Chain A
Amino acid sequence: MIETIYIESEIRSHPRTKSILSRFSKARIVECERYGEVFNPKKQNFRLQKMKPALIIARKHRNFILDAPEGFGIGGRKNYYFSHMLNCIYDCRYCFLQGMYRSANYVLFVNYEDFQNEINNIVEQNPDEEEITFFSGYDCDSLALESVTRFVREFLPFFQKHKKAVLELRTKSINVDELLNHEVIPNCVVAYSFTPENISQKLEHGVPPVKKRIQTMKSLAEKGWRVGIRLDPLIYHEGYQKYYSKLIQEIFYTISVESIHSMSTGPMRFPEKMFHTIERLYPDERLFSGPLENRNGLTSYSEGIETEMINFCNTILENHLPKNKLFSCLQSSF
C-alpha cells in the first residue's frame, strides 16, 4: 500500500518511526530535513498523487491543539481539534482536504506525547466540570490508517484517564478491531460520516459501503461504545429526499437509539479559493456542476437549498432522536 516513506532526519530513531518501518520493510525510505520540503512545494498535483500517496513521518513543533472552527461542535461549549495526521486514505470528492493541501501524501506526526501534554494543559486550565470536546478527525480519518499509526491504541488510554475530555473519532473506516478489543470508555464518541449509498458510490472513492459502515457502527454500539452519526456534507441532487430518508431509516433500523451520542447535519461549503482549486483538479466531476453559488467568501448551495435539506433531514431525525442530540454544523471558516 505505502511504497515510499519520507522521514524527517530528526525522528529517524523515534520509537514510533522504528515501529512503522519494521512493518514496511520493503518501502523506499527517503530522508528529509522537514516534512514541508516534500509536502508544501507548489508544483505538486494532488489528483495525480492520489494514485499512490507516500507516507511522511514527521514531528509537529507547535499548534498541537487548535480551537475548532466556529459552528463545529456536538453540544459542548469548548471545542478543540487536533491532527496527528494530515490527509486521508479515502478519496471523497467533496472533501476540503483536496483543496487545502498541495500534496496528497499522508503526513503522520509521531510525537503523540506532545499532543497529549497540550490536551492535559487545556483540561487542567478548565477546572470546572464542563466537558471539553477534542475532535481528532478533522484533517484525516481518525481510524482508517490505524494499522500504521496506532493512534487509537495510544490515545484511548490517555482519554481514559481524562474523563472531562471527550474524544471524537470521526471516521468512515470499518477497521475497528482496536476499539472492539479495548474496554469501552464513556468519554469517547465514534462518529461515522455518511452520504446515501447512491452518492457514496459516486463520490466516496475507496470508502467501505454504507451498509458495512452501519454494521460496523452496530458492533461498536453493541459493545457499548457511544456512536455519532454525521450527515455531513449534505449533497443536493435530484431526489435527495428519497435517498436521505432511506439512509436515515436504515441507520435507525440497525442502531439502537440509546447508543447514539449525537447526530449532526452539515451543508457542503468551501472557501471560494479552495473550491476553485478543487474544481480545476476535477473538472469532470458532476458534483461541482450543481447549483452552487458564492456567499460571504464561501462556495455552497444557496441558503434556500441548505435550509431545505437540513430541515428535511432534521424533520425525519426528530422522529427518532430527542432534539438535544441533533446538531447542525454550520461551519463558516476552515
Chain B
Amino acid sequence: MIGKINFVVALFCEAKPIITHFNLRKMDSTLFKIYSNQNHSIWLIISSIGSSASSRATKHLALVSEADMGTAWLNIGIGGHDNLPLEKAILAHKITNSSTGKTWFPQLIFDPPCLTTSVKTVEKPDFNYPDDNVVEMEASGFYSAAESYSTREMVHCMKIISDNSQSPAGKITAAIVDKSISRNLSIIKELVRKLQFLSMKEQERTSDPPFLQECLSRWHFTVTQTHQLKSLLRKWLLLQPGKNVLDVLLPDCKDSRNVIQTLDLHLKNTPVWMDHD
C-alpha cells in the first residue's frame, strides 16, 4: 500500500519546486491547474490566492483525486512573521481565521521536521504581524475544507517565511518564492514521508478484507448485506487466518443470505484463541 497525499498551493511559483521534485505531470482540468504523479499517490492543485479560493480548490481536488479518509492533505505557501528569519519553514499548530475567529488545531502525532507556530489567515495582506502569528491568506479555507475528507492528524499547513518586519512583503518576487520553497525541500520531503506513513496506516485500517470482491462478483449483495459481509470476512481473517473462505466454507452457498448466515454461524462457533497469532 502507498500513502496518498494531496497538496494545495496558492501560486505556481510556490508549487514549481514540488512539481519538479515529485515528478508531477499536468492533468486535464479546466477549473484549476492540477498535477499528479504516475501512480496517482501524489496530487497537487494550484488554488490562487485567498481563503475561499483555497477552500474551493481543496474540494475540487478531493473530487478529482477520489480522496478518502486515508488521504493526507498539505497546504504549502508563504507567510509573514514579525521576527522569524526569511526562508524559515514552520508547521501550523493552530490556525485562526481572523474574520470569524474560528480556530483549528492540527494534531501533531509525529515529530515535526521544523518549528511549529500559530498561523493567522487574513483576507487582505497584513504587515503588522500580530500576536506572534505567521500571517498568510489560505490556511483556514484549506483546513476547513480538507478536514471534511480526512482527520486533523493528516491535514497540515506548512508556511515558509517570505517577509518580516525587517524585510517587507513588497520585495517578494516569484523567483524568490521559488528559491525559498526549493531551499526547504528536504523538510517538505520529510513531512511528506510522515504523512504518507499515516495515510498508509489509515488505508490499511479501512481497506476491504480478502475475498470481498470474489464474494461480490459471485453473489448479489444489498448495501446492508455488503457491510455485514465485510465485517464477517474481517472476522474470518482474524479467526481463520490463511484459509480461503470460498473453498472452506462457502462452496455450496446459493445466495447472499445463505453466505451471511453460513459465515455468521460458523464464526459464532469458532473458538477465540487470544494467545495465538
Is A45 located at the chain interface by the 8 A CB criterion? Answer: yes
Q: Contact between A32 and B109 (Cβ–Cβ < 8 Å)? A: no
Is A289 located at the chain interface by the 8 A CB criterion? Answer: yes
Interface residues on B, range: 20 to 34
A30-47: CB near B (< 8 Å → 1, else 0) gives 111100011001011101
Is A291 located at the chain interface by the 8 A CB criterion? Answer: yes
Q: Contact between B108 and A48 (Cβ–Cβ < 8 Å)? A: no
Q: Contact between A3 and B108 (Cβ–Cβ < 8 Å)? A: yes
Q: Contact between A28 and B116 (Cβ–Cβ < 8 Å)? A: yes
- Residues of A contacting B110 in the complex (Cβ-Cβ under 8 angstroms): 51-52
| Contact of B105 (CB < 8 Å), options: A32, A45, A281, A289 | A32
Which residues of B from 110 to 149 have beta carbons under 8 Å from A?
Answer: 110-111, 116, 118, 147-148
Q: What CA separation (Å) do A49 and B151 show in the bound complex?
A: 10
| A115 → B minimal CB distance (Å) | 26
Q: A43-B150, A48-B198, A48-B201 are in contact. Are A236 and B105 (CB under 8 A)?
A: no
Q: What CA separation (Å) do A281 and B94 show in the bound complex?
A: 26
- Residues of A contacting B116 in the complex (Cβ-Cβ under 8 angstroms): 28
Q: Contact between A238 and B272 (Cβ–Cβ < 8 Å)? A: yes
- Residues of A contacting B94 in the complex (Cβ-Cβ under 8 angstroms): 30-32
Is A152 located at the chain interface by the 8 A CB criterion? Answer: no
- Residues of B contacting A58 in the complex (Cβ-Cβ under 8 angstroms): none
Q: Contact between B151 and A238 (Cβ–Cβ < 8 Å)? A: no
Is A179 located at the chain interface by the 8 A CB criterion? Answer: no
Q: Contact between B202 and A4 (Cβ–Cβ < 8 Å)? A: no
CB closest residue in chain B, given A197: B275
Which residues of A from 1 to 57 have beta carbons under 8 Å from B?
Answer: 3-4, 6, 28, 30-33, 37-38, 41, 43-45, 47-49, 51-52, 54
| Contact of B148 (CB < 8 Å), options: A4, A30, A43 | A43
Q: Contact between B108 and A44 (Cβ–Cβ < 8 Å)? A: no
A243-287: CB near B (< 8 Å → 1, else 0) gives 000000000000000000000000000000000000101011111
A200-214: CB near B (< 8 Å → 1, else 0) gives 011100000000000
| B261 → A minimal CB distance (Å) | 15
| Contact of A48 (CB < 8 Å), options: B105, B153, B273 | B153
Is A199 located at the chain interface by the 8 A CB criterion? Answer: yes
Q: What CA separation (Å) do A112 and B256 show in the bound complex?
A: 57
Q: Contact between B205 and A283 (Cβ–Cβ < 8 Å)? A: yes
B187-206: CB near A (< 8 Å → 1, else 0) gives 00000000000100110010
- Residues of A contacting B107 in the complex (Cβ-Cβ under 8 angstroms): 44, 48-49, 54, 105
CB closest residue in chain A, given B239: A289
Is A76 located at the chain interface by the 8 A CB criterion? Answer: no
- Residues of B contacting A283 in the complex (Cβ-Cβ under 8 angstroms): 205, 234
Q: Contact between B109 and A52 (Cβ–Cβ < 8 Å)? A: yes
Q: A52-B108, A283-B234 are in contact. Are A44 and B272 (CB under 8 A)?
A: no
Q: What CA separation (Å) do A30 and B119 show in the bound complex?
A: 12
| A108 → B minimal CB distance (Å) | 17
Q: Specify which of B107, B116, B153 lies most central, judged by the most chain A CB atoms within 10 Å of its CB.
A: B107
CB closest residue in chain A, given B69: A45
CB closest residue in chain A, given B235: A289
Is B216 located at the chain interface by the 8 A CB criterion? Answer: no
Q: Contact between A44 and B151 (Cβ–Cβ < 8 Å)? A: yes
Is A120 located at the chain interface by the 8 A CB criterion? Answer: no
Q: Specify which of B94, B202, B239, B267 lies most central, judged by the most chain A CB atoms within 10 Å of its CB.
A: B94
Q: What CA separation (Å) do A281 and B268 show in the bound complex?
A: 22
| Contact of A286 (CB < 8 Å), options: B151, B239, B268 | B239
Is B274 located at the chain interface by the 8 A CB criterion? Answer: yes
Q: Contact between B151 and A43 (Cβ–Cβ < 8 Å)? A: yes
CB closest residue in chain B, given A45: B151
Q: Contact between A47 and B268 (Cβ–Cβ < 8 Å)? A: no
Q: Contact between B103 and A32 (Cβ–Cβ < 8 Å)? A: yes
- Residues of B contacting A49 in the complex (Cβ-Cβ under 8 angstroms): 107, 109, 153
Q: Contact between B268 and A291 (Cβ–Cβ < 8 Å)? A: yes
Q: What CA separation (Å) do A237 and B271 show in the bound complex?
A: 7
Q: Contact between B109 and A236 (Cβ–Cβ < 8 Å)? A: no
Q: What CA separation (Å) do A37 and B101 show in the bound complex?
A: 12
Q: Contact between A6 and B267 (Cβ–Cβ < 8 Å)? A: no
Is A290 located at the chain interface by the 8 A CB criterion? Answer: yes
Q: A52-B108, A286-B239, A289-B235 are in contact. Are A45 and B153 (CB under 8 A)?
A: yes
- Residues of A contacting B152 in the complex (Cβ-Cβ under 8 angstroms): 41, 43-45
Q: Specify which of B201, B202, B205, B235 lies most central, judged by the most chain A CB atoms within 10 Å of its CB.
A: B205
Which residues of A from 225 to 246 have beta carbons under 8 Å from B?
Answer: 235-239
CB closest residue in chain B, given A56: B105
Q: Specify which of B93, B109, B267 lies most central, judged by the most chain A CB atoms within 10 Å of its CB.
A: B109
Q: Contact between B151 and A48 (Cβ–Cβ < 8 Å)? A: yes
Q: What CA separation (Å) do A303 and B182 show in the bound complex?
A: 64
Q: What CA separation (Å) do A291 and B17 show in the bound complex?
A: 54
Q: What CA separation (Å) do A44 and B103 show in the bound complex?
A: 15
- Residues of B contacting A286 in the complex (Cβ-Cβ under 8 angstroms): 238-239, 272, 274
Q: Contact between B153 and A237 (Cβ–Cβ < 8 Å)? A: no
Is A198 located at the chain interface by the 8 A CB criterion? Answer: yes
Which residues of B from 146 to 186 have beta carbons under 8 Å from A?
Answer: 147-148, 150-154
Q: What CA separation (Å) do A190 and B153 show in the bound complex?
A: 36
Q: What CA separation (Å) do A213 and B216 show in the bound complex?
A: 49
Apart from A4-B108, A30-B118, A291-B268, 13 more pairs, CB < 8 Å? A38-B105, A41-B147, A43-B152, A44-B152, A44-B153, A48-B109, A54-B108, A202-B274, A203-B274, A235-B274, A236-B272, A283-B205, A289-B238
Give the 8 A-B residue pairs with the shortest CB-CB distance, closest first: A198-B275, A289-B235, A238-B271, A237-B274, A45-B151, A48-B153, A52-B109, A43-B147
